[in-house]
Amino acid sequence: MNLDMEMFHQTFFEEAAELLADFEGGLLRLETAPDDLETLNTIFRCAHSIKGGSATFGFTEVAQFTHSLETLLDKVRNGQILVDSGLIQLLLESLDQLKALLEVAQGHASEAPSSLPLLAQMDMVIESVEGGASDADGVLWRVRLRFYPGDDVLQRGANPLFLMEQVAGGGHITSLECDISKLPSLKDMNPETCYLGWNIELLSEKDTAYFHEIFEFVADESVVEISAVDAFAEASGQFDQIAETASVPDTRETAKEAGVFVGNPEAAIAPSKTATVAIASAESHTLRVSTDKVDKLINLVGELVINQSMLNSVIQDFSMAKLPRLIEAVAEMERASRELQERVMSVRMLPIKHAFGRFPRLVRDLAAACGKQIDLQTSGEETELDKTVIESIADPLTHLVRNSIDHGLETPEDRRRAGKGVTGIIALHAFHEGGAIVVEVSDDGRGLDKERILRKAIERGMLSATDPAPSDETIYNYIFHPGFSTAERVTDLSGRGVGMDIVKRAIQGLGGFITVSTTPGQGTRFRVRLPLTMAILEGLSISVGEEVYILPLTSIVESIRPGRGDVRLIAGATEVVMVRQEALPLLRLYQIFRSTPIVTDPTQAIIVVVENEGRKVGLLVDALIGQSQVVIKSLETNYRKVSGIAGATIMGDGRVALIIDVPGLVRVSTGRLEYTSAA
Amino acid sequence: MTINHRETTYHEVSASADENQFLTFSLGDEEYGVDILKVQEIKGYVPTTRIPNAPHDVVGVLNLRGTIVPIVDIRRKFGMEQIEYDQFTAIVVVVVQNRVMGMIVDSVSEVMSIPPANIQPPPDFGDMNANLLTGMGKVADKLIILLDIDTVLLGENAGMSLAA
């Protein structure tokens, strides 16, 4: 398969993923509004489009499965089958199967569970309304098929071989004749023209529509005739006999000889009953951008071009008289390029509903699995986040939601006893806060059990029983420690103690942090704070000696000029600064960065209080310069990781400024990491 | 590092396929050469941004059209006496193992072809410095010290090595 084809495949898979998401959303809507014809139509269209695409690209298994699904949905749409919870369940399972098949087709998974049980279930549902209709599936008949594809069928991207594959999948071929009468001599032959035609006879249980659909995409330019040879309803024994004795040209074999990839239907019959497949998460490397955003970009680039020619005309024969015009033109250009930068960044931004999309289904399934009644509430789905952040945040959020369902929410009986409504609430809430995005996952369950966490922490040796009791906040934060779980039994969902620390690390990896707050008996709220984008940072430039550094604004609490006596030495070694009766460790940046200081007297300098994971530290700097948005550049690409430094950026004057790694410095100050030069 | 000059006269060499081309630059009294294929560009000296706690020879980083490029002072690297940067001071930007780096040299001289026959293996110094060289090139009456730039910038003892 050549590269071009691969490219189309990628597009197909992305479209399929979107269609499946719509499909799922539709199904969940259908559950609450079974009569919504519009939703039904949407679902049907999704299935149909996936079928069309998969057939075009030769994913035979997917196409066959969706075909059955479509047949079923058609009957639902026509009102022949009623929407009930059994049907929704069947459709949801089919959806999972379809996802698994697509994963296999993409090469992310090696094997999907067998489609046969689901297909059989679908057939049962279909048959139950059809009774013994004469021309329906299930009656063996002899089909005569004449297929003469149009000359340009190959140029249109269709592959007759795949079509034949599907025909073969619809029954047992008893005779196949390839008509080569139109084939010209070799020197007159155009390799992109199809000269062949086929006459096929086969025994099939499928109806005429099945065969028509196979050729649906080439029907316009091709001759397709499907007719019955005679009524044929024989005992299955005889059928087998015929199938065995007749010399059936195996199209699949032929295809292999021709060196073409052919989907292997036998793989589906692998004895795998477990419905869950290890599905490799596929991060897509392409981006779908609304044409609206692209149009704005084009407009801005247009403005820049005009600006540039304006500038050109001003600087030709430049005289001082033209100075105001020059200033004006430069200002205009500045505005356009700043806007361009913002808009280009927004191209990478996606609404967070892409990450929220999976939760209705998840909550529904989990609620059923643990016998709880749950109402999922979401808000702020339109909040936009960097694509990379969206892709990486989905898993940690899923874990939080699962955790809230399993640990947070009580069973209906417990809730009734506690005087609450039987239906628990899980709320997902996304919003902007400062230069960051906050996603909150909250429940109205029993809340965290402080005593139990404390007991567990002592058990695990995280603190000793004789120590004074730590603050509530410290106690609740123990749940983020590795291996910490208060669940009395390990369930399917959680309780293995590997969860929360992974969630925390994943979020930190994205440059964000997580906090938890809880009210006993009223619920727990996890608050995830994420940077808007990984590429741009709102920063405060500060000076240390002659050097300029950038502090991420999100980590700054306040900046103060300490008075005399505010900075004290503790135990003759550790410097602290008193900020509102709170003693914070003081780090002199010029010492840490070994720069030549200009100001060493704290009362002449500025202390910037920064915070990470609830720990505050005071940083001694010479002066604050100003606030600006900076583009984060990697130091590691060409150099290496530097402790205390998170990255670099380029200032307005073209020089490089280094961005301070606040979490790293806070760790240094709290003594968890030995810092060679901090002495 | 002292190298005895040997007086050898050669005819004008012409470039051919099996000849290696080198960019030569001076450091103190010596001429050094680096494989021209490793060189991305040459630019005049501009002040760099210091990296805290970096090795002595890494003077800082520079913005090279949006890329952050670490700059190594070759004099410091070789433990030579430091001099003031002047209008001849140049930064030779090289690409080694997919990293873009700059080296500060006293001045850039020229691009010259040295036929393999005129390249001698590096003399045996009996110390670490030998593997920083690929050989000694003889051109006319000059002796060019040919640097193995990968080892110089990324080798085990180099300040740029991955191990922090």
Q: What is the ipTM of this complex?
A: 0.81
Q: Which of B49, B50, B99 is the closest to A638 by Cβ?
A: B99
Q: Which range, A133-142, A574-583, B129-138, is most confident? A: A574-583
DSSP single-letter state for residue A186:
G
Of A76-80, A314-318, B38-42, highest mean pLDDT: B38-42
Q: To the nearest whole angstrom, how far is the Cα of A639 from the nearest Cα of chain B?
A: 6
- In this prediction, residue A3 carries a pLDDT of 52
Q: Residue B53: its chain A contacts at CB < 8 A?
A: 593-594, 642-644, 676-677
Question: Which pLDDT value is given to residue A13?
Answer: 84
Size of chain B, expressed as the number of residues it contains: 164
Shortest distance, CA B159 to any CA of chain A (angstroms): 10
Residue type (1 letter), A238:
Q
CATH architecture for the domain at A3-130: Up-down Bundle (1.20)
Interchain pair A593, B100: CB under 8 A? no
**Could you tell me which residues come within 8 angstroms of residue B95 by beta carbon, excluding any fewer than 6 positions away?**
B38, B40, B101
**Burial state string for A61-81 with b = 16 or more CB within 10 A and e = fewer than 16:** bbbbbbbbbbbbbbbbeeeeb
Whether residue B35 is contained in a domain is answered as: yes
**Two structure tokens written together for A380:** 């702020």
pLDDT digits 0-9 by tens, A231-253: 444 444 444 444 444 444 444 44
Q: Closest partner residue to A648 among B47, B68, B101, by Cβ?
A: B68
Q: What is the mean pLDDT of residues A362-389?
A: 86
Lowest mean pLDDT among A10-14, A187-191, A667-671, B151-155: A667-671
Per the CB < 8 A criterion, the answer to whether A209 and A179 are in contact is no
pLDDT tens, residue by residue, A485-509: 655 544 444 444 457 877 888 887 7
Q: What is the pLDDT of residue A251?
A: 42
The pLDDT, as a whole number, for residue A82 is: 81
Q: What is the pLDDT of residue A40?
A: 84
Count of positions (residues) in chain A: 679
Please name the residue of chain A whose CA is at the shortest distance from the CA of residue B159: A639
How many Å apart are CA A595 and CA A543, to the nearest integer? 11
pLDDT of residue A237: 40
- Which fold does the domain A141-263 belong to in CATH? Alpha-Beta Plaits (3.30.70)
> Is the separation of the CB atoms in A621 and A610 below 8 Å?
no
∠ CA(A474), CA(A479), CA(A481), 5° rounding? 90
Cβ pair A648:B49 closer than 8 A? yes
Whether the pLDDT of residue A589 is over 80: the answer is yes
Residue of B46, B48, B51, B58 to mutate when probing chain A, most A C-beta within 10 A: B51
Amino acid A86: pLDDT: 82
In a domain, B84, yes or no: yes
Which ranges in A460-583 belong to alpha helices (H)? 472-477, 499-509
pLDDT band (50, 70, 90) for residue A230 = low
Chain A residues touching residue B63 (CB < 8 angstroms): 650, 654-656
Alpha carbon separation from A643 to A659, B72, B92 (Å, rounded): 11, 19, 27
Query: By the CB < 8 Å criterion, does B149 face chain A?
Result: no
Residue type at A603 in one-letter notation: T
pLDDT for the residue A674: 38
What is the 3-state composition of chain B as percent helix, strand, coil, each rounded to the nearest 5? 15, 45, 45
Terminal-to-terminal C-alpha distance of chain A? 62
The span from the CA of A514 to the CA of A393, in Å, is: 12
Closest CA to A588 of A574, A578, A579, A44: A574
Instruction: Please provide the average confidence, as pLDDT, over all residues in chain A.
Output: 78
Report how far residue A27's alpha carbon sits from residue A94's, in angstroms, rounded to the nearest whole number: 11
Return the pLDDT at A486: 55
pLDDT at B70: 95
Q: Compute the distance between CA of residue A175 and CA of residue A203 in angstroms, rounded to an integer.
A: 10
Interface membership of A654 toward B (CB under 8 Å): yes
Tell me how far apart the alpha carbons of residues A367 and A107 are, in angstroms, rounded to a whole number. Answer: 32
pLDDT in tens, chain B (164 residues): 444 444 333 344 444 445 689 999 999 989 999 999 999 999 999 999 999 988 989 999 999 888 899 999 999 988 888 899 999 999 999 999 889 999 999 999 999 999 888 888 887 766 556 678 888 898 888 899 999 998 888 876 554 443 33
- Identify the band that residue A549 occupies on the pLDDT scale cut at 50, 70 and 90: very high
User: What pLDDT, on a 0 to 100 scale, did the predictor assign at position A564?
Assistant: 85
Lowest-confidence region among A106-120, A314-328, A653-667, B99-113: A106-120
* Residue pair A607/A562 in contact by the 8 Å Cβ criterion: yes
Of the options 2.40.50.180, 1.10.8.60, 3.40.50.80, 2.40.10.10, the CATH number for the domain spanning A536-669:
2.40.50.180
Domain ranges of chain A: 3-130, 141-263, 291-347, 367-531, 536-669
Q: Which residues pair with A439 in a beta bridge?
A: A430, A528
Least confident piece of the model among A88-102, A215-229, A603-617: A215-229
Tell me the pLDDT tens digit for each residue of A174-195.
778 888 888 888 888 887 888 8
d(CA A202, CA B24): 79
What is the structure's pLDDT at B128? 56
Domain at B70, CATH number: 2.40.50.180
**How is A579-608 classified by DSSP, letter by letter?**
ETTEEEEEEEHHHHTT---S---GGGSEEE
Instruction: Establish how many alpha carbons lie within 13 A of residue A417's alpha carbon, considering only the half-sphere containing its beta carbon.
Output: 6
| Domain total of chain B | 1
Q: What per-residue confidence (pLDDT) applies to A130?
A: 66
Distance CA A321, CA A307 (A): 19
Residue B88 counted as domain residue: yes
Residues B47, A657: Cα–Cα separation, whole Å: 12
* A190 touches A146 (CB < 8 A): no
Instruction: Please state the rounded mean pLDDT for residues A337-362.
Output: 84
Whether CATH 3.40.50.970 fits A367-531: no
pLDDT of residue A344: 84
Chain A interface includes B50 (CB < 8 A): yes
Cβ of A656 within 8 Å of Cβ of B63? The answer is yes
Q: Do A490 and A397 contact (CB within 8 A), yes or no?
A: no
Its domain, for residue B101, covers 20-154
Q: Which residues of chain B have a CB within 8 Å of the CB of A587?
A: none
Comparison of pLDDT for A108 and B98, the residue scoring more: B98
**pLDDT tens per residue, range A446-459:** 888 888 888 888 87
Cβ within 8 Å of residue A57, ≥6 positions away: A5, A8, A9, A12
The position carrying tokens 């240094």 is: A668
Measured between beta carbons, the chain A residues lying within 8 angstroms of B68 are 633-635, 637-639, 648, 650, 656
Provide the b/e sequence for A626-662 (b: ≥16 CB within 10 Å). Answer: eebebebbebeebbbebbbbbbbbbbeeebbbbbbbb
Residue A277 exposed, middle or buried by CB count within 10 Å (0-12, 13-18, 19+): buried
Task: Report percent pLDDT > 70 for chain A.
Answer: 84
Q: How many CB atoms lie within 10 A of CB B71?
A: 23
CB within 8 Å of A34: residues ≥ 6 apart: A82, A83, A84
- Is A163 strand, coil or helix? helix
What residues have CB less than 8 Å from A182, skipping those under 6 apart? A195, A196, A197
Chain B residue numbers with beta carbons less than 8 Å from the beta carbon of A594 are: 52-53
- Tell me which residues of chain A, numbers 608 to 647, contact chain B at a CB-CB cutoff of 8 Å: 633-635, 637-645
Tokens encoding A15: 């479209």
Could you tell me if A200 and A173 are in contact, meaning their C-beta atoms sit under 8 angstroms apart?
yes
**A565 token code pair:** 């006596």
Number of A–B residue contacts, CB under 8 Å? 72
